[in-house]
Amino acid sequence: MTFLNIWIFFLGAVTASFLNATLYRLEEGYKYPKIIKQSSHCENCGKILTWWELIPIIGYLLIKGKCPKCGQRVDLYYPLSELVLGTTFVLFFIYTIPWYLWIVAIFLFILSYFDIKEQAVYKDLVHAFLATTLLFYFLFAFDIANLILPAIFVVMIIVLNLIKKSFGFGDLLVLLGLGILISWQQFLVMFWLGIMIALLYSLMLLASKKISLKGAKVPMIPFFSIAFVIAILYGEEIYSYLLNFMKIW
């Protein structure tokens, strides 16, 4: 870990923290200039956060996940999302991932925010995402082979959805947008990993009895976002590893 890497990690964590605060304020209907000038405060008691409480991840640890004044729990989503985007930034930096995929990762962060907090993603936002990935595809990742698998998967999922609804239409469009930017091997790994992480998460929720099997709604976009980042970094390796693994059997 060099000093530069640590700095890039914090850049990602700060970006996450900034996006979380801005998206929250947008949703609460804050207007300019309040949206940028308002000091961050506890949503329960209104305590203004000090500068050290605002440091990503470290601030959360220092206050032990609770408001120092009223004891209101801070959602674990905040430090976790900062950790994820910070790690993504530093790995993308180390592996010299092209800049347009950084934009895609930040866009995925925003989509995930709504999927987690609202259990729904705005249609316009998904369409803007698809338009952005299409533009990037034609500019930087043009390869007909990239299109085949995403197209097959989308048709398959639509057919499966007719039998039992398990995927939202928005999730499908996001998958399609991600799929065209990566090789078909990476797409397979992303899809497999996304489902695996979602399954693990559901099992953990079940074990902690927070949900029942019926009516469980698991947000898919955050899992596919993490799977996408892993697929970009290690997709080809994971693919050949899985292939070898299957040969043994």
Q: How far apart are CA 70 and CA 61, in angstroms?
A: 17
Interface residue with Zn ion among 4, 26, 36, 45 (CB under 5 A) is 45
- Residue 48 interacts with Zn ion (CB under 5 A): yes or no: no
Nearer to Zn ion, 45 or 120 (CB): 45
Tokens 């905040």 correspond to what residue? Answer: 78
Nearer to Zn ion, 78 or 191 (CB): 78
Nearer to Zn ion, 12 or 79 (CB): 79
CB 141 within 8 A of CB 184: no
- Residue 166 interacts with Zn ion (CB under 5 A): yes or no: no
Interface residue with Zn ion among 6, 18, 44, 52 (CB under 5 A) is 44
- Residue 158 interacts with Zn ion (CB under 5 A): yes or no: no
Nearer to Zn ion, 79 or 179 (CB): 79
Nearer to Zn ion, 66 or 123 (CB): 66
CB 239 within 8 A of CB 188: yes
Q: Which of residues 72-131 bind Zn ion (CB under 5 A)?
A: 72
Interface residue with Zn ion among 70, 76, 135, 216 (CB under 5 A) is 70
- Residue 69 interacts with Zn ion (CB under 5 A): yes or no: yes
Q: How far apart are CA 104 and CA 229, in angstroms?
A: 10
Site residues, Zn ion (CB under 5 A): 42, 44-45, 47, 67, 69-70, 72
